[in-house]
Amino acid sequence: MSKRGFVSKYGPWAVVTGASDGIGHAFAEQLAERGLSVVLVARRAERLAELGGAIRARHGGEVRVVAADLSTAEGLEAVERATAGLDVGLLVASAGYGTSGSLLDADLKQERNMLDVNCYAVLDECVHFGKRLAGRGRGGMILLASLVGWQGVPRTAHYAATKAYVQSLAEALRIELKPKGVDVLSCAPGPVRSGFAARADMVMGAAVTPDVVAREALNSLGRKGTVVPGGLSKLLTYALTPLPRFLRSLILAQVMGEMTKHQGA
């Protein structure tokens, strides 16, 4: 799709959650490069202001920032208020984080917070912006899923379950919203070189860059239902998909065991 066609379909404004670093930041940069104005959403106000200024300087478009904690009703309402007067054509729901280790040792407060950010916030955004996009008759939504969401994954059991939720939601919404002119894409990367691993307390080896994730997702929007960015992620997908879910879980248990062995038993 040409730059003009992309702006016509998915512009003039895009809302990007989790925009302060990693995948969200890469999406914001590439959308601005394609000619869209962007709303950057994350918790850190100073970091957002810094990134917003840098994006304006590089690409010349309009940028607004919304400092909001998406695990709270107040944060979700702040995003809705800040975008109420904008003609939003694209939602990129990339805010989220992971946890790792034995579920029985988990901090339930942290797990509840992750559930709110990874699942409820995405649901809220899909309903709110989905209605707006359907009403204008065109637009798109990109939801960040993960390779771990296609089966249970020991030692990251709850995080994998949250991503299974996102994957299922995206698959269904793609069919529901297509007649209304709205494209829905699940972006399901494997390991990504970002701050995710440190927060999830994992040690990752080979990983794709956030720029690759954003580029492949934007190029796939309107053409696919799910995109798996990066060569390594594609290889893992093709190798695991033919196997029964239980066997995939056993294999990934070994992988996660290596990524979390520094935690001990």
Mean pLDDT along residues 65-86? 98
Instruction: Give residue 262's pLDDT.
Output: 73
Mean pLDDT along residues 10-29? 96
Whether 129 has a pLDDT exceeding 90, the answer reads yes
Question: Minimum mean pLDDT among 58-62, 120-124, 179-183, 192-196: which range?
Answer: 192-196
Range of the domain at 216: 3-263
Would you tell me the crossing angle of helices 22-33 and 210-220 to the nearest 10 degrees?
50
Mean pLDDT along residues 8-21? 95
Instruction: Give residue 195's pLDDT.
Output: 57
Q: How confident is the model at residue 256 (pLDDT cuts 50, 70, 90)?
A: confident
How far apart CA 196 and CA 28 sit, in angstroms, is 18
How far apart CA 159 and CA 96 sit, in angstroms, is 10
Determine the straight-line distance between the first and last CA of the chain, rounded to whole angstroms.
Answer: 50
Question: Minimum mean pLDDT among 17-26, 104-113, 179-188, 198-207: which range?
Answer: 198-207
Whether 265 has a pLDDT exceeding 70, the answer reads no
Half-sphere exposure of 166 (CA within 13 A, CB side): 36
Mean pLDDT along residues 131-156? 96
Instruction: Give residue 255's pLDDT.
Output: 83
Q: How confident is the model at residue 15 (pLDDT cuts 50, 70, 90)?
A: very high
CATH number of the structural domain spanning residue 220: 3.40.50.720
Instruction: Give residue 238's pLDDT.
Output: 86
Whether 236 has a pLDDT exceeding 60, the answer reads yes
Question: Minimum mean pLDDT among 11-15, 149-153, 225-229, 238-242: which range?
Answer: 238-242
Whether 82 has a pLDDT exceeding 80, the answer reads yes
Mean pLDDT along residues 232-248? 88
Task: State the chain's mean pLDDT as an integer.
Answer: 92
The Cα-based distances of 152 to 83, 125, 246 in angstroms read: 36, 25, 8
Task: For 147, list phi and psi in degrees, rounded to 5.
Answer: -60, -30
Among residues of the chain, what percentage have pLDDT more than 70? 94
Domain count, the chain: 1
Spatial CA neighbour of 227 closest among 40, 8, 3, 23? 23
The continuous run of DSSP H or E covering 7 comes out as: helix 3-10
Residues with catalytic annotation? 159, 163
Instruction: Give residue 204's pLDDT.
Output: 55
How far apart CA 33 and CA 93 sit, in angstroms, is 19
